Amino acid sequence: MKTASSVFAALGAALLLGLGATHAGAADSPETRPNILWLVAEDLSPILPPYGDRTVATPSLGRLAAEGIRYTNAFSVSGVCAPSRFTLATGVYATSAGAHHMRTQYNRHLLEAVGLTPYEVVTPPEVRMMSEVLRAHGYHATNNDKTDHQFAPTVTAWDASGPDATWRGRSAGTPFFAVLNFGITHEGQVWADRVPCRNLRYHRLFRPSVDGGAHCDGETGPFPDHVAGDLVAPRPPYLPDTEPVHRDLRRVYSNIVELDRQIGLVLDALESDGLLDETVIVFYADHGGPLPRQKRLLYDSGIRVPLIVRFPDGRGAGTASDRLVSFVDFAPTTFSLAGIEPPAYLEGSAFLGTYEGAPRDYVYAAADRLDAQYDMIRAVRDGRFKYLRNFRPERPYYLPVVYREQMGSMRELLRLRDAGGLDDVQAQWFRRSKPEEELFDTWRDPHELENLAAQPGHAEQLAELRAALDEWMRRTRDRGFLGEAEILESFWPGWVQPVTEPPIATRWDGVVTLASATDGASIGYRRAGSESAWQVYSEPFSLDAGEHIEAVAHRIGFAPSATVAVR
């Protein structure tokens, strides 16, 4: 008879969570499954040497591109992080699940300003965090350390999540899925005088003796400055040619250099651990750039991201792909790389691996509430043309977001706007209303400044993309037309968070079965009194006499249940 400890040790490789059948052999044989490492930058457009921008040197990213596949048409589903990260974590569009507003969990004062309270998105019962699915198939899953998913991670989501979580805590021979987030390129690092130590933590984790003041002991440290004061950086035409703008551009590129240094530390650590040739590395950003008219918008400056995938066997090394890739494809692709059949609830398709699907024709994106400012914009893009529909055309393009207005270039734009000092291109963003439809040729007009929607010569593209957007919104049941208070009420009746029903244990002939009355609840269990990670319950198991475990249930968006003892 199995003991509890043997059940825990064998759980990952042998058990299924009921989230889609496993691919025979590939998912059940640990030696055939690659490690998978996500390197996630924040607020970064593809202004990098592998994408043709030579402003600063990035040898680590250059190495990844030389040894991997560089995707030139990769897009987030939103111009901000929380809705985008929701889709990355679940494989479901934020708009179809009601997760499309920027930050539902935090910033109480902003939510109260629009008559709401912080809440968590409740997903359909079949949806699981992708890391939990991987854990159920034998992967050791860690996150370092951002969890801005519009809900608290379920207790079964990670083996470890926090500023010290890396692949190094797993059992020997266990494949890993690890997420490392890099905050140094975030919007808030453009105007900051000092850097939070958490944004330099990879120096401490992987090379604590590094010099140059790149690690710090307290809450903040001196900001790494990697560019000279006379650096000439490419300036988008929608930003004025003034010193505050150039200062922000220098900081953006300095942060990219620091990002590259940190990624180099990770690659060195992976290589020193003997894992580089066993690991698929995926580098990308959570959405587009940090500057005004980039972040929060659905222009390519807000949603187009760098994406590089490096395989341990060198396949595709040094190549570029113009295949359209959306964040909704990341979960099925990760499962496909691990040999796991993607669950049916996923709304994207794999672009690599065993279950690779056909190339997509379009990518889609959405913009809704930003802090305390409401809007509703939807976008669809093929390989060349971008179509945007403004559902609230009476709203101006520019919405005052207090956080963004700490940036020098944003303040400069506002100053020049009020003084009448902007040219026609720079003044576009400050128009008081929007057309209902916009169409851009991103090849001829990469900054999306000339609206072609009313031009007869582009009627065919307009009709095609208009129809594609309508079909996507219908198919995914876009919840953007619902008031946010109505969405909150549907998640949390009476605006009170529901609590997951605790697991109920049944025993038959020495075999223990765990279940929760809450539809869609995940169940975790571990040895009683242990502080180890909750193991994902997948199927009944045996306990010897005297063996004690404890169990908990947790559905996404609900509070976790009380812990129950199982003897």
Is the distance from CB of 354 to CB of 25 less than 8 angstroms?
A: no
- DSSP one-letter code for 39: E
CA angle, corner 304, sides to 264 and 60, nearest 5? 10
- Mapped onto helix, strand or coil, the DSSP state of residue 441 is strand
Sequence-separated (6 or more) residues with CB below 8 Å from residue 536? 11, 15, 17, 132, 135, 136, 156, 522, 523, 524
Sequence-separated (6 or more) residues with CB below 8 Å from residue 75? 300, 303, 304, 305, 324, 325, 326, 327, 363, 365, 381
* Residue corresponding to tokens 């200062």: 247
Distance, in Å, from the CA atom of 290 to the CA atom of 403, rounded to the nearest integer, reads: 12
Is the distance from CB of 500 to CB of 555 less than 8 angstroms?
A: yes
Segments in 209-349 forming alpha helices (H): 243-272, 300-303, 330-337
Is the distance from CB of 38 to CB of 179 less than 8 angstroms?
A: yes
Residues in the chain: 567
Q: What are 91's strand-pairing partners? A: none
The region that residue 125 occupies, defined by phi over 0 for left and psi between -120 and 50 for alpha, beta otherwise, is alpha
Please identify every residue annotated as catalytic.
Answer: 81
* Residue corresponding to tokens 């957007």: 469
Q: Which residue in 200, 192, 294 sits closest to 247, CA to CA?
A: 192
Round to the nearest angstrom and report the end-to-end CA distance of the chain: 15
> Which helix (H) or strand (E) is 381 found in, with range?
strand 377-381
Give me the torsion for CA of 191, 195, 201, 203, rounded to 10°: 100
The per-residue DSSP string of 514-565 comes to EE-SSTT-EEEEEETT--SPPEEP-S-EE--TT--EEEEEE-TTSBPPPPEE
Distance, in Å, from the CA atom of 328 to the CA atom of 346, rounded to the nearest integer, reads: 8
Strands of the sheet containing 522-527, edge to edge, are 535-536, 522-527, 549-554, 564-566
> Which helix (H) or strand (E) is 191 found in, with range?
helix 188-191
Q: Which residue in 38, 14, 21 sits closest to 139, CA to CA?
A: 14
Cα–Cα separations (whole angstroms), residue 331 to 88, 343, 346, 422, 497: 6, 10, 8, 43, 27
**Dihedrals φ, ψ of 434, to 5°?**
-125, 150
Q: What are 296's strand-pairing partners? A: none
Cβ count within 10 A of residue 20: 20
